[in-house]
Structures are given as structure tokens and as C-alpha cells.
Chain A
Amino acid sequence: EAGVVQSPRYKIIEKKQPVAFWCNPISGHNTLYWYRQNLGQGPELLIRYENEEAVDDSQLPKDRFSAERLKGVDSTLKIQPAELGDSAVYLCASSTRTAYEQYFGPGTRLTVT
């Protein structure tokens, strides 16, 4: 069974530029999560989807971050414009609706210069 797929794995951009991350969850997983992990810290939830619906986006900085999950499968997280403080690893995870366990992708390491 294929795991959670994320791309790109690494991204370096200048501040004020836009950037997008893509996630393909495990087949059949209805719930999708985006986390941000700063260096030396644990991941923090940005947004959670149940199918196409964003059911928890309370931690998403909505002035510059946006996300979508069309057709309830793949998801894209966008930052526009990026700031120096956005440098972090962005992790995607998925789970079945009722399962306890979340499965994580390898993450995208973003560096904003």
C-alpha cells in the first residue's frame, strides 16, 4: 500500500514569492491534515479536512495561507506571499474517518530567503 505522497520535497524561494505544496493521501482515507513543523519543535495542525470540507482551520493564517481539497482526494496548501518566518517543514497526514491513527508523509522543507 502506497503511503502519503508529498511534493516537492524541498523548496527554496525568496520572501514575497508564492509557493504551493501538494499532498496525495492514502487511498480510502477521508481525513487529511496539514501540519507545520518548525525546527526543533513538534508539528502543529494548520487545517483538517473531512472529504472536501475544512472542518478545522482555526490555526491557518488566513491572510496568506490557503488550502483546498478538490474531490476529497488530493490537497494543495498555498502561501502567498511567503515570509521569512514561514521557513519550516510542512507535513501532510491522512486517516480513515474513524481510525485513531494518522499516517504522515515525508514533508516539504520550505526555506524562505
Chain B
Amino acid sequence: KQEVTQIPAALSVPEGENLVLNCSFTDSAIYNLQWFRQDPGKGLTSLLLIQSSQREQTSGRLNASLDKSSGRSTLYIAASQPGDSATYLCAVKAAGNKLTFGGGTRVLVKP
């Protein structure tokens, strides 16, 4: 059974500092890995999707890497802003179009 872990559960940084969020998964037989953002009381917004054949994906200040063999992904957010405060979730997709989520990392960027 696939298990996805995100450490730390919460993170607080001053504005301008780079954010590093970690995600690990137990079964490397995945189709892709996706990073989501969730604001309080809102649904999930997809940030980046990395196919299993890719090593990284970039969008603006966001960069996500994937090391499938070691079961790890890292989301980097450069020059953090208070608007980046949210919960970040990673999810892996395996057979059956099923997404398995981690517990999320709650991020607070202090002005």
C-alpha cells in the first residue's frame, strides 16, 4: 500500500527566504507526482505535475524535483512572500488513476 509522508508538518519563515518542502513515498511504481496548494476553507489548486519519467518541473518561483528510485520529491519556492502562506500537499498517482496524498506542510511566511 502506497504511503506518502510530508515533513515537516509546519514551517514558518521570514519573507524573502527560500522554502523547501519535502515529500516521500514508499512505492516507486508511480505514474506521476503532483504538488497542490490549499488555502483555509478552500479546495486544492494544482501547482506542478511531474511525470514519472521527468526529474523536475518549474513554474515561475516554483521548482519541483522527483527522484523516483529513492521515493522523494522536493518543492522549492524561491523568495517567499506572505501570499505563499498555505498548506502544501503532495500526491502520487499509481494504477487505477488513484491519487494518494501526504498529510501536508502548513507554511507561514512572516512579513
Residues of A within 8 A of B (CB): 4, 31, 40-45, 48, 56, 91, 93, 95, 100-107, 109
Binds A, one of B11-19, B42-50, B59-67, B71-79: B42-50
Report if B28 contacts A (CB, 8 A): no
**Would you give 28 A-B contacts (Cβ < 8 Å), ordered by A?**
A31-B97, A40-B103, A40-B104, A41-B103, A42-B4, A42-B89, A42-B91, A42-B101, A42-B103, A42-B104, A43-B89, A43-B101, A44-B101, A45-B98, A45-B99, A56-B98, A91-B44, A100-B32, A100-B49, A100-B51, A100-B93, A101-B46, A101-B49, A102-B99, A104-B36, A104-B44, A106-B41, A107-B43
Tally inter-chain residue pairs, CB-CB below 8 A: 52
Residues from chain B with a CB closer than 8 A to the CB of A42 are 4, 89, 91, 101-104
8 Å CB contact of A48 from B36, B45, B98, B102? B98
**Contact across chains for A106 and B43 when beta carbons are under 8 A apart:** yes
Q: What 7 A-B pairs come out closest when comparing CB atoms?
A: A42-B101, A104-B43, A104-B44, A106-B43, A41-B103, A105-B43, A42-B103
Given A42-B4, A42-B91, answer yes or no on A106-B99 (Cβ-Cβ < 8 Å): no
**Contact across chains for B104 and A41 when beta carbons are under 8 A apart:** yes
11 extra interchain contacts, Cβ-Cβ under 8 A, other than A42-B101, A43-B89, A44-B101?
Answer: A40-B9, A42-B103, A43-B101, A45-B98, A91-B43, A91-B44, A95-B97, A100-B31, A100-B32, A105-B43, A106-B41
